[in-house]
Amino acid sequence: MEQEISPIIHPNELVLLKQHSAIVLIDTRAGADAKEKYASSHLEGALHVDLDSELANTKTDPSNGGRHPLPEPAQFARLLSQLGITPASHVIVYDDKSGVNAAARFWWMLKSFGHEKIQVVDGGFDAAMAAGFPTSSNAEHSMDMGAYVPTNWQLPLSDINEVEKAVQHEQCLVIDVRDKERFNGEKEPIDLVAGHIPGAVNIPFAENLDEKGFFLFPADLKTKYLQVLKGRDEKNVIVHCGSGVTACHTLLAMAYAGFKIPKLYVGSWSEWSRTNRPVATI
């Protein structure tokens, strides 16, 4: 039986892997200038995937599903086919935010399709370059490998109604991974209302990383989240952020530490804050 691979790959491992194995490399850098940055320089062979148009269905009303609701599984399956990804492909994904942003979202989505060989580059684009991975400004082309058969999302999801009930029960835990200032209601640069879901606890995603932007060692992450869970089963844990993207970073960190992947509340604060539900500040 083939050994399960780590969800995180160190840049040095990536350099060696490229020399000896066939991989599908995905660039998920996001932002208004993402396409320009990709065209200027990307890891050699990497194909670009857009967060807003390909990893989310952003045409919906944020009050019903948040700013980055998941696309339909069939839509994601078409994207995988266009990228040349088959169920047997070894897929490596990176962004320029230490895996905090769209790389973790892509990992979660592909993992939720039951895909086994999917890893995120530790430290992201800059770390891979520093390790000697070649870059390119050439146009990259994929070969459509035919239909990647869609499936329902297999990893656990939560919705706003479940979250509303979960915060009232001691055996459940709702984790908000946004930074403390947003959680406390001191600032809100993106959504309409500042604050947090009453009863949620704040474990900022940045605390999954060291001062150089690399993931903490799995043993350290395990110790950290055992203290957070306080004996709770992962199935009773719900993780959210602003719009269901950076929450995936904490889910990735927990998987790296050996935990079962908790529930993702995709709508997150961008949905909750646009309803009539209560808001807490500190």
Catalytic residue among 79, 121, 194, 241: 241
Task: Name 141's Cβ contacts closer than 8 Å, sequence gap at least 6.
Answer: none
Q: Which two tokens stand for residue 51?
A: 């967060």
Go through the chain and tell me how many residues it has.
Answer: 282
Q: Is 241 a catalytic residue?
A: yes
CA atoms within 13 A on the CB side of 211: 0
| Residue type, position 112, single letter | S
CB environment 140-179: b (16+ within 10 A), e (fewer): eeeeebeebeeeebebbbbebeebbebbeeeebbbbbbbb
CA atoms within 13 A on the CB side of 132: 7
User: Helices (DSSP H) in the chain: which residue ranges?
Assistant: 11-20, 34-40, 51-54, 73-82, 102-112, 124-130, 160-166, 180-184, 218-229, 247-256, 268-272
CA 247 – CA 33 distance, rounded (Å): 23
Could you tell me if 244 and 42 are in contact, meaning their C-beta atoms sit under 8 angstroms apart?
Answer: no
User: What is the DSSP track for 210-261?
Assistant: -TTSPBPPHHHHHHHHHHHHTT--GGGEEEE-SSSSTHHHHHHHHHHTTPPP
Taking CA atoms, 233 is separated from 191, 202, 237, in Å, by: 31, 18, 7
Which residues are tagged catalytic? 241
